[in-house]
Structure 1
Amino acid sequence: MRTKQSLFAEDERRDIAACGRSLACSRPAARSAEGAHEPTPTPYFVLDELFSHLAFDEGSRLLDVGCGTGRVLAYFASRGFSGAAVGVELDGDLVTRASSWIGRFPQLSVRCANVLDEPLGAYTHIYLFNPFDTPVLARFLDKIEEEIAHPVTVIHMSDNGERYAYAGRPGWSIERQGAFQWFEGVQVFGYPQTYTIWSYSGRAALSALDNDKKILD
């Protein structure tokens, strides 16, 4: 009979197949920034669903915010996605663990940093698994709007209550949304974990729209 423990054991087997070691976090992370949450590796069945409808090409650049030991990076590489993936993590020990295996994958990198201090202009996809409180999320969304000129896809997992931080922001639209709680008859989460995949048109498109409106006026 399948259990939650057997599902997590299967996740570890997929970790080992992808990068040669388990990427489960065995202890709480040291999070120094106010509003930051402890990292939790995303279960593979969630990643399979979230990423199944996304397209990556050679120009794609994925940012995993609060990457922990790097499961999303490992998933990106194991699926053979084109482009590059970058993880940003506050906990230096977790960055060391992630850095210990990504060297064999030239398209992957990880940095020990606060994402609010990182330049965002190059990214086409951003993944969030509830990395920080809503006020920090609002600052992060402001930063996206200030720095990213082109269209960008934001995959926000476990955004329970936080999706309202996106509401009313010009240029943002929902591509897909749903929730996870059970997988193949096993209750993985204590309550439904909602997700939303957002599309942001980018600063350049909004500027062009503003200019068109001024001409019409």
Structure 2
Amino acid sequence: MNDSYFDGILHIKTTGEQKGFNASLHYNRYEPTPYHALCELFDHYELDKSDHVVDFGCGKGRLNFYIHHLFRATVTGIEMNEWLYREALENKKRYERKFPVQPARIRFKCCLAENYKILPEDNRFYFFNPFSVQIFMKVVQNILRSVEEAHRETDIILYYPSQDYIYFLEDHTPFEKRLEVPLTFLYEHNPYEKFVVYRLA
């Protein structure tokens, strides 16, 4: 079953490549997490309806709709590219025509990741290498400041994690590795093809 099959189930369109290039070299091109990888992750890692997930570099919103459909959690997609942001909003309309959604359960914001104000209820944060480690550091510091103001269990979920991301989390933050999910279904083993979950208890 390919990505188009899952898109069809969710009544959205998230395949295809990004049009044009990002203005900043700190931000990477859009590439959605493969559905088969998401299936593997959520075989080992569960979310709750009460969770609030923030997807940094959400693109067209694939992760957001998949999570909402599976867990009914609240999801917020952060995207700096205006074209991708508009595509995510179109997908939201398609999804909501097929699946009733409570108000504010699926949200998208067009802004730089480091400018997103972390809400007190945000407690799960997803990254598929959307930007440089310099931006990642700023976002994580925003998360930590928010947790200081409103303490809660907080997870950072990395897909295909860069060594820079891992080094920063493990050597410069209180986050601790809780779970690692290698993608065992791949024929050629790639040590970077995995999810790593870090938790701040």
Q: Which residue of 2 aligns with 1:87?
A: 77
Matches of 2:60 and 2:49, distance apart in 1: 24
Contact 1:65 1:115 in 2 (8 A): yes
Give 1:62's match in structure 2, choosing from 53, 57, 63.
53
How well do the aligned residues superpose, as a CA RMSD in angstroms? 2.2
Q: Is the 8 A contact 1:64 1:127 kept in 2?
A: yes
Q: Could you say which residue in structure 2 is the equivalent of 1:4?
A: none
Corresponding residue number in structure 2 for 1:136: 135
The TM-score with structure 1 as length reference comes to 0.77
Amino acid at match of 2:77: G
Gaps of 5+ in 1: 1-6, 202-217
| Aligned CA distance change for structure 1 residues 34 and 144 (closer, same or farther; 3 Å) | farther
Partner of 2:68: 77
| Superposed CA offset, 1:63-104 (max 9, x none) | 01100011101211331x133101010111111111012131
Shift of 1:21: 3.4
Greater length-normalized contact order (CA 8 Å, ≥ 6 residues apart): 2
Report the AA paired with residue 199 of structure 1. Answer: R
Aligned 8 A contact 2:17 2:31 in 1 = no
Q: Which residue of 2 aligns with 1:173?
A: 176
Give unmatched runs, 5+ long, in structure 2: none
Q: Deviations over 1:164-217 (max 9, x none)?
A: 11123453111112444x6364x5x9774343101012xxxxxxxxxxxxxxxx
The alignment covers a number of residue pairs equal to: 188
Runs of 4+ aligned structure 1 residues displaced above 4 Å come to none
Partner of 2:113: 115
1:118-171 Cα distance to aligned partner (Å, 9 max, x none): 111321111110111112111221111111231111111111312111123453
SS of equivalent residue, structure 2 residue 179 = strand
SS of the residue aligned with 1:87?
strand
Aligned position for 1:145: 144
The answer on whether the counterparts of 1:173 and 1:200 sit within 8 Å (CA) in structure 2 is yes
Matches for 1:29-68 after TM superposition, within 5 Å: 30-68=21-59
Residue number in structure 2 paired with 1:155: 157
Task: Give 1:115 shift.
Answer: 1.6
Between the aligned residues of both structures, percent identity stands at: 18
TM-score (norm 2): 0.83
State the partner residue of 1:193. 193
Q: Is the 8 A contact 1:25 1:69 kept in 2?
A: no
Q: Is the 8 A contact 1:28 1:38 kept in 2?
A: no
